[in-house]
Structure 1
Amino acid sequence: MTRVRPYFATDAPALRRIFVEAVQVGAQAQYSAAQRDAWSGAAQHCPPDWGDRLGDHLTFVAEQHDNPVGFMTLGRDGHLDLAFVLPRVMGQGVADALHDRVLAEAQARGLSRLTTEASLRAQPFFQRMGWRLVTHQTVEIRGQKLDNAIMEKPLQALRKLPLR
């Protein structure tokens, strides 16, 4: 059973490990080792600004058996910045549960549109969830060029609440 809850500062190291494993293992078919190293930072340790990055967004954590297995972040502007799950739980509804929670929060806050820059690995998931491809782009990270998809999802606002 997957439970989705708000982020706590103590989650930062576990979410960093999820991010690195999702990039290094989950995206092997879409990106080279050099691209994955550049994207993940290659290091398993938590960079000093990682917790701040998560805390500056509305971040949700998916848990199974009280252990984090995925997370998604939503910025005040409706940009879904980070969306990662452990490779071993892909296809088990973890990303769906996180997406549903992010979507509900965005609608409750009166956002009219969500945006993201989805990896080639994540693009099919977002399309399945009703996101529209705007365009593909190539970004450079630490000297490596990575392709991704700029995507958007129009929303029906339910009511307006402040996003932190």
Structure 2
Amino acid sequence: MIEIREANLTDLPEITALFRNTITHINSKHYTENQIAVWASGADNEKKWKARIAKNYFIVAEQHNTIVGFAYLTQGNNLDGLFVHKDFQRQGIGAKLLRVIESQVIMTGYKEIKSDVSKTALPFFDDYYYEVEKKQLKHLKGEVFENYVIYKTL
């Protein structure tokens, strides 16, 4: 049974470990070793993660008291992250997180949700009727990442 709840600061170690492991194991099929190392190093910025949890709508998916996924919104309608544990892929966890996030966007009065997503995540969002606004290149610590700006009218 998957339970969705708002994240708190005590979740930080599990959230950052999940972030790092998902990128390392799932996204490695679409990005280079250097890109993966740079992207996964984002887990090390504890101050940034604490601010994300404290200031944003940030939810976790739990199964048997273990965090198996998380998602968070910034600026009211920007899905800034949705990650599912590498060992719990394709079990409906991402879909459940996405439904809760979309409901939150609607409840706060927005008509559209937006996100920047990886090549790996694009097929998932396509399954939930997200449209690609544009393909883009993002620069991070000397690496260039190809990703997509997507949106959905709610």
TM-score, structure 2 normalization: 0.95
Partner of 1:37: 37
Q: CA RMSD in A?
A: 1.3
- The percent identity for this pair of structures is 25
Shift of 1:47: 2.5
SS of residue in 1 equivalent to 2:96: helix
Q: Is the 8 A contact 1:22 1:84 kept in 2?
A: yes
Moved over 6 A (4+): none
1:38-89 CA distance string (max 9 Å, x none): 11117x6552221112322101100111110110001233100011111110
Q: Is the 8 A contact 1:140 1:146 kept in 2?
A: yes
Question: 1:32 and 1:76 mapped to 2: Cα distance?
Answer: 30
1:4-37 CA distance string (max 9 Å, x none): 1111111111101111011111101001110011
Partner of 1:161: none
SS of residue in 1 equivalent to 2:28: coil
Which amino acid in the other structure matches residue 22 of structure 1? T
1:92 aligns with 2:114: no
- How many residue pairs get matched? 154
Give 1:46-125 correspondences, 5 Å limit.
47-125=46-124
Partner of 2:132: 133
